[in-house]
Each structure stands twice: as structure tokens, then as C-alpha cells.
Amino acid sequence: MKSRTSDSQRIYDLLLGARTADKVTLYFKDGRVLHGALIFNQFKGTGRLINIDQELSVDFSVDELRDLKL
């Protein structure tokens, strides 16, 4: 259980740092890999990834992510 909490905290910290990045890559626990601009609500632990080129908008929570790259 401890590693799950630390993984979520690590992802949360990465999301906070990525809010000003032009593009991010999100790696989901279900295998999806999506690229785009990030909107993150730090108080709710939720966000949205927007990819204008693919006309894609995906809502997510911190618990759904396994990694994030800038």
C-alpha cells in the first residue's frame, strides 16, 4: 500500500511541475499513451489532456496514471 501512495504522490508532483509545459505525455495504467496540453486541478487531483491536432480531450484522475513525461 505504501508504494501505491508514493506512486500517486510522485505523479501528483510531476503534474504540478508540468502545468506550464507546452506538451506532456501521459501514460495510463490501462495502457493508453496520450500527448497534449495539460490542465490540472491540484485540489481535486483531476485534470484534462487536450490534443488539438487529434481533436481529443480526455479527463483523468491522478490514480489513473502510471507515468508522465514532459
Q: Is 68 helix (H, G, I), strand (E, B) or coil?
A: strand
Who wins on pLDDT, 59 or 5? Answer: 59
Considering only the C-alpha atoms of the chain, give the largest distance between any 2 of them, rounded to a whole number of Å: 39
pLDDT of residue 12: 93
Could you tell me the pTM of the whole model? 0.88
Which of these, 49, 43, 41, lies nearest to 69 by C-alpha position?
49
The one-letter amino acid code at 49 reads L
4 φ, ψ to 5°? -65, -40
pLDDT tens digits, 13-46: 999 999 888 999 999 999 999 999 999 999 999 9
For residue 32, the Cα-to-chain-centroid distance in whole angstroms is: 12
